[in-house]
Amino acid sequence: MEANTPVSAVASQRRAGRPHKARGGERELDAPIEANTPVSAVASQRRAGPSPASAVASQRRAGRPHQARGNQPAFDVKILYDGDCPLCAREVAMLRRLDRGRGRLDLEDIAAPGFDAARYGATQHDLMARIHGVLPDGTLVEGVEVFRRAYAAVGLGWLVAPTRWPLLRPLADAAYRWFARNRLRLTGRGAAACDSDRCAVHARGA
């Protein structure tokens, strides 16, 4: 059969009971394709394998780790959280479970000994005042936007989608700022949970 024979002609041959034979190392056509696509073009596409987008989708459905593009980190968002805040730590633990080892989230405890806020171009006071997140390109986001991105990364973006609505967004942001300022008292954590410098940071709030 000639290389540029339309697929519609191949289909006619099959209906007539004549088998279509593959040439050389080409596989026999067995998937739906457009009627006037040349056979040679179809064979080239099939030899090339699946598209990158379909491969990524297959990996995500299979629960495989999320891979980085180029020189960017693999995570969708890195969460800089206060590990001394019990409520914050519980939510982060829940997000870690929802991530199921896929690497969409990277979690860093800013209350851990040796944490250096300067790595992110910020101060310890700023990071303790409210939750921050780091995007793959290095951009810092803060407050409710961190939760929007974190929940979207684990497939639950619909839970926080209403916080983007024009009427609800300022209310959600204000409610989080109030919680961030008062989380020491609300979570029942005392001064023993941190050293004097970190406690002073919490007490000043934002």
| 70 assigned to some structural domain | no
| 1 assigned to some structural domain | no
Residue ranges making up the domain that contains 141:
77-204
| 41 assigned to some structural domain | yes
**Residues 15 and 85 grouped into a single domain:** no
184 to each of 84, 86, 134, 191, how far by Cα in Å?
Answer: 9, 9, 24, 9
Residue 77: how many other CB atoms lie within 10 Å: 24
Number of domains in the chain: 2
**Residues 38 and 81 grouped into a single domain:** no
**Residues 132 and 81 grouped into a single domain:** yes
| 109 assigned to some structural domain | yes
| 53 assigned to some structural domain | no
**Residues 177 and 127 grouped into a single domain:** yes
* Gap between the Cα atoms of 67 and 178, Å rounded: 37
Q: Where are the beta strands (DSSP E) in the chain?
A: 77-81, 105-109, 132-134, 140-142
Per-residue pLDDT of the chain (206 residues; tens, 9 = 90+): 555 555 455 445 555 555 545 454 444 444 455 555 555 554 555 555 544 444 444 444 444 444 445 567 789 999 999 998 888 999 999 999 999 999 999 999 999 999 999 999 999 999 999 999 999 999 999 999 999 999 999 999 999 999 999 999 999 999 999 999 888 788 766 444 444 445 444 444 43
Phi, psi (degrees; rounded to nearest 5) at 168? -90, -25
